[in-house]
Amino acid sequence: MSGALSIPQLILSILLFAVLFFGIGFIVNMLLKTTWLIAILYPFFIILIIDHVSIWDYFTNTSYAFSDLWISFINLKISDIVVLAMGLVGAIIAGITIRTLRKKGYQMF
């Protein structure tokens, strides 16, 4: 993620990431009968979003790939961190929602 975000873009990005990962998390957790799968896999999604190297480079050129990943993490702006953190919050809320529905007796599939 790069570039400066205006306030409306920041607000919309926060809402979109939270809703997007809530929806993905809810559907995946419901279909696979898990609770926290997307919340656990979320760091891998973040790596795919912010990283500039291919996944294959993590196996073939490991030191370069991880150093580039570290530099990408260091160069994140506070607005990017907030947006990505809200995606994690959405994934966690999806897990809480699935868990609550199962406790109340709802069976999904």
Closest listed residue to residue 83, CA positions, set 41, 50, 34, 35: 50
Q: Please choose, from the candidates 23, 1, 33, the residue with its C-alpha nearest in 3D space to the C-alpha of residue 108.
A: 33
What tens digit of pLDDT does each residue of 63-87 get? 999 999 999 999 999 999 999 999 9
Burial of 78 (0-12, 13-18, 19+ CB in 10 A): exposed
Token pair for residue 84?
A: 């990505």
Query: What pTM does this model have?
Result: 0.84
- Are the C-beta atoms of residues 90 and 25 closer than 8 Å to each other? yes
Which one, of 100, 107, 98, 86, lies nearest residue 25 by Cα?
98
Q: pLDDT tens across 43-61, in order? A: 999 999 899 899 999 999 9
